[in-house]
Amino acid sequence: MEYHIENMEGCRVVYLKGDLDLYTTVKFRDIIGEEGEHSDSNFIIDLKDVGYIDSCGIGALLFFFSAVKKKNYDFYLTCLGESVFEVLKLNQLIKFFPVSESVSSALLEMSAKGRT
Amino acid sequence: MNRFIDIDSNHILFKRDNMYYKEFSSDYSLIRFYTHLIMQKAPLEIKEELILEQQISELIKNAVQHGNGCDVMKKVKVWFSFSDSNVRLIVEDEGDGFADIEKWNKFQEERIKAFSSCDFSKMNEYAVFKTERSGKHDGGNALFAAVQYWDAGFVFNSKRNSVAVGKNILTRGESCFIPA
């Protein structure tokens, strides 16, 4: 799994690429743990280039979502592919995570809520 | 659709006739490789079934990690079959069995209510299921998706160390091979 992070309109946007699975989750948790702990900002996790996610990956997203919400910042998942969407739909977490179709639409939604 | 875990060693899903068989050591680093080996037997149209590979991997991971504690001396046994209209697997480990099935089903009952309410704090409370045996990196969410995905049943044997699952693939308007 690869990643890069950009700052956009006061928001940290994490672009992930590859599988978010039982093997890569540890690395992902390290990245986001560091980010969640030290960054005072809203977060967007862009999943456009994530083709495979499993329960460990979803657990890591939940972990990060919870950390961001505790600090009262906003959080969005964007660009869900078909299989990521399907897994989130099956375990009903699609109702739980704030989801937007693109990074720009998530930024607009945050802006509309006065969060950027 | 039954969205709970059943316990029934005599369930039709435990019939092993005409199924392929493979056994693996409980090596965590090879879980996705084992899944690929199983998927090799699937017809092309089944291989394309969205998230099938992921769901099979979750079953093997549960057996390797929670059942056998990643002890490479312990085996995971897998019986499996694929056809144009269905997928069946039986995954058995050498562990003590999933003791918390009743607790999980009760949690699931409350979770369904919480997610029906769309109340964020209630959903947050029921987002993941963890026990004393859960690891730091356990997602705690695999079974919620599994009981939905395996629509022909998700059944443990009475020793609770073997799970049988079935999935109906209804791409051509066929009827289900096992009533859900």
Q: What's the pLDDT at A32?
A: 78
B165 touches chain A (CB under 8 A): no
User: What is the 3 state secondary structure string of chain A?
Assistant: CEEEEEEECCEEEEEEEEEECCCCHHHHHHHHHHHHHHCCCEEEEEEEEEEEECHHHHHHHHHHHHHHHHCCCCEEEECCCHHHHHHHHHCCHHHCCCEECCHHHHHHHHHHCCCC
What confidence tier does B180 reach under pLDDT thresholds 50, 70, 90? very low
Among B54, B111, B127, whose Cβ lies nearest the Cβ of A62?
Answer: B127
Rounded to two decimals, the pTM is 0.92
Copy the structure tokens of residue B61: 């991971």
Give the number of other CB atoms < 10 A from CB of residue B13.
20
Q: Are B174 and B160 in contact, with CB atoms under 8 Å apart?
A: no
Confidence of residue B177 (pLDDT cuts 50, 70, 90): low
- Specify the pLDDT at position A88: 96
Question: Given the DSSP bridges, would you call strands A2-8 and A11-20 parallel, antiparallel or unpaired?
Answer: antiparallel
Is A23 in contact with B137 (Cβ distance < 8 A)?
no
Query: Is the pLDDT at B1 greater than 90, yes or no?
Result: no
What digits encode the pLDDT tens for the residues B111-135?
999 999 988 899 999 999 988 778 7
Going by C-alpha positions, the residue among B126, B132, B135 that lies closest to residue B106 is B126
Per-residue pLDDT at B2: 63
Segments of chain A scoring below 70 in pLDDT: 115-116
Q: So what's the ipTM on this one? A: 0.90
pLDDT at B179 over 50: no
Q: Which domains are present in chain A? A: 2-104 (3.30.750.24)
pLDDT at position B169: 87
Q: Which structural domains are found in chain B, ordered by start?
A: 17-168 (3.30.565.10)
At A116 the pLDDT is 65
- Residue pLDDT, tens place only, B39-53: 999 998 888 888 999
Number of Cβ pairs closer than 8 Å across A and B? 80
Interface touch A62/B31, C-beta < 8 Å: no
pLDDT value of position B42? 94
Q: What is the pLDDT of residues B66-112, one digit of tens each?
A: 999 999 999 999 999 999 889 999 999 999 999 999 999 999 999 99
What pLDDT digit, counting tens, does each position of B3-43 carry? 999 999 999 999 999 999 999 999 999 999 999 999 999 99
Q: How far is CA B59 from CA A109, B25, B150, in A?
A: 38, 14, 11
From chain B, the residues in CB contact with A29 under 8 A are 137
CA proximity to B59, closest of B84, B43, B38, B40: B38
The answer to whether B141 contacts A90, with C-beta atoms less than 8 Å apart, is no
Note the pLDDT of residue B35: 97
Amino acid at A4: H
Minimal Cβ distance to A92: which of B29, B32, B144: B144
